[in-house]
Amino acid sequence: MTHAQESARKDMTKKSTTERYTLADLEKWREVTDDVDPPIRLGIFGDPVAHSLSPHMQNAVLRACKIDMQYARFHIRANELRSALRFLRELDFIGVNLTVPHKIAAFAQIDEADKFTSHAEAVNTIRLRDKELIASNTDGEGFLRAIRSEFSVDVRDLRVMILGAGGGTGHAIAWQCALENCERLVLVNRTLEKANALVERLRASFAGPRVLGPLARLEAVPWDEAVLRAQLADIDLLVNATPLGMNPSDFSPVPARLLAPHHMVFDAVYG
């Protein structure tokens, strides 16, 4: 490969790292990407998706490993997911990641899922196998590793509160907490019915004896400052699983005045 060709490939990779494709692009994918080199065979579906750092991270790894393909952003709205996945089955893709708002909705569209994903009923990774969509979810394991790495503690020893428990990330982290048999789990969601529904699915995992006196090991509570203040007195780890933080102008999901020195905080949002 000549220097000019290598420079052109680098420019194309840089473009794919910043460009956002759409459902309309997927429909005419071969035509749209005919001159793209190396080919785009990986990506992330979301709405919004411009904030995602995944292309920067994934393309850096692909280049370092000398893997001849690219990873790109796809702006796919909620009502476009079914069509996007249908197009994906017919294209030369290896797979995609999913972010807001697709993680729960995608579960109904896949052909096969691993055990954890089936429990969580939320998907953040889809790979293609003979035109079938094979789902997995790395949110729970990623959360677990981050807590061990940053705080040198195991989730099983913690009392955990999850903000935004009704979303896909919240589902995955809640199930990971259940699998780790954490001491206590409090689910918070603006739509309380969603948190209550998740509590019912998790209840069997928290059927053991209470070790915290009269406190329930598992419960859903409304998103109310007075309620949060009371609950946080018996919480070690606070998890933000809401989309708040994607935009620099977003307000904090919890007022700083409610946090105490002993609280650990895990923010699932990056950008």
The catalytic residue positions are: 103
- 8 A C-beta contact, residue 116 and residue 129: no
What are the angstrom distances between the C-alpha of 101 and each of 46, 98, 174, 229?
A: 6, 8, 18, 29
Q: Which residues pair with 42 in a beta bridge?
A: 71, 95
- 8 A C-beta contact, residue 182 and residue 236: no
**Alpha carbon 115 to its chain's center:** 17
| Residues in Cβ contact with 121 at an 8 Å cutoff, skipping those fewer than 6 apart | 104, 107, 171
